[in-house]
Structure 1
Amino acid sequence: MATAAATGLDPVLGFALVGALGVGSQWLAWRLRMPAIVLMLAAGLAVGPGLGLLDPSRDFGDLLQPLVAIAVAIILFEGGLSLNVRSLADAAAGVRRLVIIGAPLGWAASAAALHYVAGLDWATSSVFGGIMIVTGPTVIAPLLRQARLRRRPAALLQWEAIVNDPVGALAAVLAFEVVLVLNTSAGAGHAALDFALGIGVASALGLAAGWGLARAFATGRVPEYMKVPVLFGSVLLVFAVSDSVLHESGLLAVTLMGLWIANVELPSYVELRRFKEHATVLLVSGVFILLAANMDRATLAALDWRAVLFVAAVVLIARPLAVLVSLIGSPVPWAERLLVALTGPRGVVLVAVAGLFGERLAEIGVADGARIAPLAFALVGATVVLHGFALGPLARALKLTAATRPGVLIVGGSAFSLALARALDKLDLPVMIADPNHAHLRRAREAGIETFFGDVLSEEAEHRLDLVRYEMVIAASDNDAYNTLVTTDLAPEFGREKVYQLRRSRDSSRRHALPATLGGRPIGPDETFYQVEARLAEGWEVRTTRLSEQFDLDAWRAEHPDAVPLGQYSEAGGLRFVGPEDDVEKGEGVHLIALAPARKERRASA
């Protein structure tokens, strides 16, 4: 133990530190409403070159590169698993252009910036320029979650990031093979054959594995409890076999594998994807902290004014040029083009692949290969911080956010749903009522409330509804079982603390009571759907009251002793719904939402 302590941190303790920092950064970012990537970058630099507590190359040795490679493969597989072709919708034309036209343009523009601004030779610039096509799904996903973009610009950025990740890695492989031929005695024909063989094997392996797994899962050849382990094992096997044929081709193989599985409509697809998303959050955190901690002070000190100009050239010239030229003549509006052009964060894959190719270039005598790693880290660090803080304000300035205020999705076209929707609408909060019965939505449409005719759990709703506009779900249909199904299914997406439903009719019976893992939180009175509807039929209404210093919560309770609070809203605290056992917060400027008897003047007029 003394020897291990003298040579560095114990590997087990090192992995524990990485995990704690990764998850801690994600949680702290959620609490502070900051980009998680920025905090992970800061944490990695602090424990690595800052304090010297963690040196991944020293502490993990030869395990570091394989661990990072496997983690990146799983991250890309999960990215492919989230790319359902139907989700493209009207973004398809833009994505095709960004990949087919934008990627080569980005390669050329990035290589030019590396050569003329950073001062690298053409051999190194061509290899690194290919890697810079990658815009990083590991960074895009958290940024999109925080910025709350509209569906189409979010789809453009997400699809481009995931598809271009393996494309960028393979572009670097192609450029490296050319450099290898020029600097060694290797034959050009042999190098081209190796490259073509690698691409063919990767594509065949990925698609075959996706088809085989999808068929095995659909026909019951794999038991439910074994599906996730089989999936993980298959990803690792496909990645390793493909990578052994051609370095970095494994990224293409696992992306195609995930893309195939995402588009065959497996019954267990949602469960598989959710588990993969949880694993990816851990892997993204861990890999990013490892790569940041692995930087040394000498490498960071080697960054000079040319590195700053290089980053500026990439962000302000190379990226916008490639995007805007590729989208000429496309149906993508100019605001969305500008947003995509100015949003190009780089992440884990770029740093990992750049470091690998930098070492290989140095090994064959290309001196500038050693400069790739620090430039890659500078680009990743700068774009992560820049886009982490700028994407939200930029999207709001271009009016491309889904909603600036918390929205509410109400399931069930009942009288209670309409009354609550009207109250929320008066507060200028986005609200929508969804119901599979067209007649139940008639009064809502007449009142000018946005509606969705269909089942919110259907695939059509997933592709047509921009759910990012809504922060909360209230299930208020006349079917208790359906309300429970809706809140249970949507809880992982919205958060269990943000899905609500009225009390079930038989909850008081132990025989029919459901476990806490099913259903949503209670809202309003401890009453069933029919009891609340009866109140409304008797003249009760949902209304809002603004509390002030002169008319506080106590004064409101004294004036409305029978009223039942449903929720509250303020600019500072946001929207919050309450149940029968929850307390309403006091405060000036709070809008109280309550179910109350009709005012005296209304009863008199009635």
Structure 2
Amino acid sequence: MPDSALYEQVLTGLGAIILMTAWVPMVMRRMPLSLPIFCVAAGAALFALPALRPFAVHPLQHPIAVERLSELVVVVSLMGAGLKIDRRAGFRRWAITWRLLGVAMPITILLVTILASSLLGLGIATALLIGSSLAPTDPVLASDVQVGAPGEGKEDEVRFALTSEAGLNDGAAFPFVNLAIALAGLSFGTRAFEHWLLVDAIWKLLVGIGMGYAIGRALGYLTFHLPNIAKLSRTGDGFVALGAALLAYGLTQLVGGYGFLAVFVAALGLRHASRDHRYHHRLHEFAEEAERLLMMLLLVLFGGMVLNSGLLAYWDGRTLLFTFLVILIVRPFAGLVSLGGSRTPWRERLVISFFGIRGMGTIYYLAYALNQADFPEPERLWSIASLVVLISIMLHGITATPSLQLLDRWAARHRSAP
């Protein structure tokens, strides 16, 4: 096939994907399906075509590209998640989030690491990498269970918990990924552990939070509080959200902090600089549109990889059992333990605990770690992580809409009861 014809086919496919990005969510709004499911299925079908099959390559063939693309979509998603949270930050107001971060995530990492070691026979460093990559819930694929746009009022406890958790735990999981990388080195002694504890587990987290707070406050002032003629909000440009996300991420990474954490904290700072300003809607709309487009492109590629690149070539019965244990037992158990003793109704606890969606964050962490250190059997690691992501997309995508509809009806009856 001539190069020009192939190029035109690619343009045609991109055009179709962009149009589907706009249309599919409207069609599926009331259906027990989700846009990610559609994207993966479309990718599997498209890359099965003989002309496109050579482009369905394994992530290990282009490891840097996989890391950077997944990194970008997570950054954009974190900005969108922070911009749409109406609730002010605070220890009590965010109590459910702290429970999920401080209890559910460490339990998940521990249990998944144990399962990966005992059931899959992975070494401690590799098992910890799988555990820390699969622990954080995904801000990219969880839009169906997140809060609504700024000021819409669609911020019940379940949606707030899942949005705020996804916004923070991508950064909070980084120390454990770095620990796995350190353990994969030739030697890991007392000094290496001290460095990890002081630098990776404490200093980088503090830098991420501090940089995010400072950048969010600065951008909030520039956007809403300068003299009227100089306010960024007067531009009406939604791409300011993308600029803010990249600025917060890039600056924080340059000074040695966790950029994911900084992006979400900066988004919260920008959101609350002028809570009721209508410009927030434009910022959120652009961030959401950019996130959806990037997500759709990457999931189409993921669908093509799943069936046509050997991405799942190393899975077996134990891997399948591991996948279902992680999704159906470990995350729900960890979530329920973390919410024990809270005032959250049991129905809401079940929903929050069940929807521990895995996605782009998992892909990024695995790609990042494999680019930083030599882990044994990288093809098998990609098969394990990809199977978990694939099953999560399907299972959580099918159950998200009906689950939240049932929860909303129960909440409405509870409010109307005498």
Q: TM (normalized to structure 2)? A: 0.81
Matched, 1:276 2:275: no
Partner residue in 1 for 2:326: 314
Q: Displacement, 1:335?
A: 1.5
Partner residue in 1 for 2:217: 211
SS of the residue corresponding to residue 312 of structure 2 reads helix
Partner residue in 2 for 1:342: 354
More displaced, 298-307 or 102-111? 298-307
The one-letter amino acid paired with 1:27 is W
Partner residue in 1 for 2:260: 251
Partner residue in 2 for 1:152: 157
Instruction: Please say if residues 111 and 126 of structure 1, whose CA atoms lie closer than 8 Å, have aligned partners that are also in contact.
Output: yes
Instruction: Please say if residues 115 and 125 of structure 1, whose CA atoms lie closer than 8 Å, have aligned partners that are also in contact.
Output: yes
Change (3 A) 1:385 1:52: farther
Matched, 1:238 2:231: no
- What 5-or-longer segments of structure 2 have no aligned partner? 149-153
Change (3 A) 1:179 1:16: farther
Partner residue in 1 for 2:168: 163
Change (3 A) 1:232 1:388: closer
Change (3 A) 1:277 1:229: closer
The one-letter amino acid paired with 1:171 is F
Matched, 1:329 2:337: no
Matched, 1:373 2:382: yes
More displaced, 218-227 or 257-266? 218-227
Residue deviations 1:116-140, cap 9 Å, x none?
Answer: 2233222111122112122212222
Superposed, 1:194-209 pairs within 5 Å as 194-195=199-200, 196-209=202-215
Matched, 1:30 2:16: no
The one-letter amino acid paired with 2:290 is A
The one-letter amino acid paired with 1:153 is V
Cα distance in structure 1, aligned partners of 2:287 and 2:398: 27
Cα distance in structure 2, aligned partners of 1:52 and 1:301: 22
Instruction: Please say if residues 241 and 284 of structure 2, whose CA atoms lie closer than 8 Å, have aligned partners that are also in contact.
Output: no
Matched, 1:265 2:274: yes
Q: Displacement, 1:313?
A: 0.8
Instruction: Please say if residues 25 and 43 of structure 1, whose CA atoms lie closer than 8 Å, have aligned partners that are also in contact.
Output: no
Q: Displacement, 1:58?
A: 9.0
Partner residue in 2 for 1:20: 16
Cα distance in structure 1, aligned partners of 2:72 and 2:36: 20
Matched, 1:353 2:365: yes
The one-letter amino acid paired with 1:237 is L
Q: Displacement, 1:288?
A: 2.3
Superposed, 1:173-212 pairs within 5 Å as 173-180=178-185, 182=187, 187-192=192-197, 194-195=199-200, 196-212=202-218
Q: Displacement, 1:180?
A: 3.2
Partner residue in 1 for 2:104: 102
2:394 is aligned, of 385, 392, 397, to 385
Q: Displacement, 1:190?
A: 4.5
The one-letter amino acid paired with 1:40 is C
SS of the residue corresponding to residue 85 of structure 1 reads coil
Q: TM (normalized to structure 1)? A: 0.58
The one-letter amino acid paired with 1:235 is A
Instruction: Please say if residues 58 and 310 of structure 2, whose CA atoms lie closer than 8 Å, have aligned partners that are also in contact.
Output: no
More displaced, 106-115 or 190-199? 190-199
The alignment of Structure 1 onto Structure 2 pairs a total of residues equal to 399
Q: Displacement, 1:204?
A: 2.9
Change (3 A) 1:309 1:26: farther
Aligned residues with identical type, % of pairs:
23
Change (3 A) 1:156 1:231: closer
Q: RCO greater where, 1 or 2, for CA within 8 Å and sep 6 or more? A: 2
Q: Displacement, 1:284?
A: 2.2
Cα distance in structure 2, aligned partners of 1:229 and 1:393: 33
Cα distance in structure 1, aligned partners of 2:280 and 2:163: 20
Cα distance in structure 1, aligned partners of 2:182 and 2:273: 36
Partner residue in 1 for 2:303: 292
Q: Displacement, 1:310?
A: 0.7
Cα distance in structure 2, aligned partners of 1:150 and 1:205: 27
Q: Displacement, 1:318?
A: 0.8
Q: Displacement, 1:285?
A: 1.7
Partner residue in 1 for 2:151: none
Q: Displacement, 1:302?
A: 1.8
- What 5-or-longer segments of structure 1 have no aligned partner? 408-429, 433-447, 451-606
Q: Displacement, 1:351?
A: 1.7
Cα distance in structure 1, aligned partners of 2:189 and 2:18: 42
Residue deviations 1:381-406, cap 9 Å, x none?
Answer: 1011112222344456xx513479xx
Structure with the higher fraction of residues in helix conformation? 2
Residue deviations 1:477-498, cap 9 Å, x none?
Answer: xxxxxxxxxxxxxxxxxxxxxx
Q: Displacement, 1:257?
A: 1.0
Cα distance in structure 1, aligned partners of 2:98 and 2:190: 38
SS of the residue corresponding to residue 135 of structure 2 reads coil
Change (3 A) 1:294 1:201: farther
Q: Displacement, 1:91?
A: 7.1
Partner residue in 1 for 2:46: 47
The one-letter amino acid paired with 2:161 is L
Superposed, 1:555-566 pairs within 5 Å as none
Cα distance in structure 2, aligned partners of 1:282 and 1:79: 16
Change (3 A) 1:307 1:25: farther
Residue deviations 1:46-74, cap 9 Å, x none?
Answer: 22367561626599966554333223211
Instruction: Please say if residues 305 and 311 of structure 2, whose CA atoms lie closer than 8 Å, have aligned partners that are also in contact.
Output: no
Cα distance in structure 2, aligned partners of 1:225 and 1:347: 34
Residue deviations 1:223-257, cap 9 Å, x none?
Answer: 4227544443342233223334558x221121111
Change (3 A) 1:150 1:183: closer
Instruction: Please say if residues 170 and 361 of structure 2, whose CA atoms lie closer than 8 Å, have aligned partners that are also in contact.
Output: yes
Superposed, 1:432-511 pairs within 5 Å as none
Partner residue in 1 for 2:316: 304
Cα distance in structure 1, aligned partners of 2:400 and 2:180: 32
Change (3 A) 1:392 1:35: same
Change (3 A) 1:382 1:226: same
Change (3 A) 1:15 1:91: farther
Cα distance in structure 2, aligned partners of 1:300 and 1:282: 25
Output the aligned Cα RMSD: 3.8
Instruction: Please say if residues 130 and 168 of structure 1, whose CA atoms lie closer than 8 Å, have aligned partners that are also in contact.
Output: yes
Cα distance in structure 2, aligned partners of 1:51 and 1:184: 51
Instruction: Please say if residues 103 and 338 of structure 2, whose CA atoms lie closer than 8 Å, have aligned partners that are also in contact.
Output: yes
Change (3 A) 1:144 1:68: closer
